[in-house]
């Protein structure tokens, strides 16, 4: 078979120039003992994560006279950040002592040999036992070892506008039990509230990972299929759940129950949804995450004091109400120690400071995220920080995570293409699923796939 090139090798080959500013800012060839470096992704001008890290670094240095912590923000889009981070970790000269790892890329970096296991540290760290099981599992490699410590997380559900649903004659509080309940509600809104977009379930290439995670995968995890089998380590082809999920999207957009296509294909759709449709009451319901409420906070650009009165929350139902009856997906970032970090013991002490109860709480609130450890959940400041926090936090123990494999970013693109094909009516759900299967085999190879076995 022809050799297959990983996303990492291709990005690294083309990304050296992108990484140069970050690498050039990383100091001299050798660091004196006690000089630590922590890198992270900074999203544009947002300062929440940077302020949290700098506060923890100051605490760390104050407790250890003579030490220093260099905080290295990497301002880059997602894929560019992964490339820069990996290039930094690949060299003893440039490696951070503590690295910022997205959980969905963690196993790819483990496989590439960039990270060291942390089991010897976590077994003596009291906070480790505070994490819910799903948060511990999210940072394990295929060898079962721990390679990162998860920060705050997120979950996804359905936001609905109470006024719009009431005008459509839908009983409140709304508690849909199946996908048919979702479609029936959207049809009622379409027919009785003509000025409102009935539903937003993200689809299409322009929506990027939102189409994969908030869209297609929030549907597929509510079926009896799995996209990736964690036991056999193979991707599923011929999955009935993929066809059912694409069928749902085909119906949603085919019946005019979603955003108009010109807006659904707009990369800035979320800005319209969060800043205009939701505050103005011109959308029925949106499948999305907990973090969007930060856009309406006091002082935010889209400040909306009444949001907690106008919006309701309900869980995303499974297709037929099977299983637990609802689903959610989580994500999050972890702190890891690169394999080439010169003093892993000091790196671990910095992680302990970064993720002390108080600092974990501060990070969680600053980014409007969710706690996944009991010491933070039980903290009085967390209990009251957002009207939506309790609802979304209760979903954390039930969450699924995206398949954390090196090929996932490419496979996610194939998912987005499939959703766009059915959204536009270019392909039937069956044909779009077949095209996804073909792309999947092309990405990972037939030996890394397995056809679904149906009863």
Q: What is the pLDDT of residues 35-44, one digit of tens each?
A: 999 999 887 6
Percent of the chain scoring above 70 in pLDDT: 92
Which residue spans of the chain are classified as CATH 3.40.190.10? 7-147+332-398, 156-329+406-451
Report whether pLDDT(18) > 60. Answer: no
Nearest to 289 by CA among 214, 220, 228, 194: 214
Give the pTM.
Answer: 0.83
Per the structure block, which two tokens stand in for 239?
């999955």
Q: What is the pLDDT of residues 205-242, one digit of tens each?
A: 999 889 999 999 999 999 999 999 988 989 999 999 99
Nearest to 405 by CA among 236, 238, 220, 234: 234
pLDDT at 24: 42
- Would you call the peptide bond into 173 cis, given omega within 30 degrees of 0 as the criterion? yes
**What integer best gives the mean pLDDT of the chain?**
90
The CATH architecture of the domain made up of 7-147+332-398 is 3-Layer(aba) Sandwich (3.40)
Supply the DSSP symbol for 40. Answer: E
Q: What is the pLDDT of residues 80-111, one digit of tens each?
A: 888 899 999 999 999 999 999 988 788 889 98
Report whether pLDDT(434) > 90. Answer: yes
Helices 78-89 and 7-24, packing angle to 10 deg:
80
402 CB-contact burial (10 Å; exposed 0-12 / middle 13-18 / buried 19+): buried
Domain 156-329+406-451 has what CATH class? alpha beta
Q: Give how far Cα 168 sits from Cα of 5, 174, 195, 441, Å.
A: 52, 12, 11, 44
């Amino acid at each position: 078979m022809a050799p297959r090139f990983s996303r990492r090798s291709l990005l690294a080959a083309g990304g050296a120039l992108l990484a140069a500013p970050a690498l050039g800012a990383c100091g001299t060839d050798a660091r004196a003992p006690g000089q630590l470096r922590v890198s992270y992704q900074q999203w544009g001008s947002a300062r929440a994560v940077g302020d949290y890290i700098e506060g923890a670094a100051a605490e760390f240095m104050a407790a250890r006279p003579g030490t220093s912590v260099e905080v290295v923000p990497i301002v880059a889009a997602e894929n560019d950040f992964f490339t820069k981070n990996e290039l930094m970790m690949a060299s003893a000269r440039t490696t951070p002592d503590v690295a910022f790892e997205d959980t969905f890329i963690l196993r790819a970096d483990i496989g590439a040999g960039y990270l060291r296991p942390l089991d010897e540290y976590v077994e003596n760290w009291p906070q480790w036992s505070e994490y819910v099981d799903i948060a511990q599992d999210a940072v394990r490699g295929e060898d079962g070892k721990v390679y990162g410590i998860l920060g705050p997380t997120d979950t996804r559900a359905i936001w609905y506008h109470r006024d719009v649903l009431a005008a459509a004659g839908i009983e409140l509080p709304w508690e849909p039990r199946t996908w048919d309940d979702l479609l029936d509600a959207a049809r009622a809104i379409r027919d009785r509230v003509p000025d409102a977009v009935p539903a937003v379930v993200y689809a299409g290439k322009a929506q990027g990972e939102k189409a994969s995670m908030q869209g297609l995968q929030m549907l597929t995890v509510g079926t009896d299929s799995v996209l990736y089998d964690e036991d056999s380590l193979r991707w599923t082809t011929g999955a009935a759940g993929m066809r059912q999920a694409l069928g749902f999207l085909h119906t949603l957009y085919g019946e005019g129950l979603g955003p108009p296509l010109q807006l659904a294909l707009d990369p800035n759709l979320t800005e319209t949804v969060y800043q205009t449709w939701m505050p103005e009451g011109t959308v029925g319901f949106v499948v999305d995450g907990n973090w969007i409420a930060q856009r309406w906070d006091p002082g935010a650009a889209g400040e909306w004091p009444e949001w907690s009165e106008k919006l309701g929350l309900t869980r995303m139902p499974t297709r037929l109400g099977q299983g637990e009856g609802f689903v959610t997906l989580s994500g999050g970032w972890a702190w890891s120690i690169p394999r080439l970090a010169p003093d892993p013991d000091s790196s671990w002490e910095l992680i302990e400071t970064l993720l002390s109860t108080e600092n974990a709480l501060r990070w969680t609130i600053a980014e409007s995220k969710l706690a996944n450890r009991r010491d933070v959940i039980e903290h009085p400041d967390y209990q009251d920080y957002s009207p939506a926090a309790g609802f979304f936090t209760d979903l954390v123990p039930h969450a699924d995570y995206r398949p954390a494999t090196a090929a996932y970013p490419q496979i996610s693109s194939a998912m987005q293409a499939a959703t766009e094909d059915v959204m536009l009516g270019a392909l039937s759900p069956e044909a779009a699923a077949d095209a996804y299967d073909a792309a999947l085999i092309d990405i990972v190879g037939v030996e890394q796939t397995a056809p679904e076995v149906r009863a």
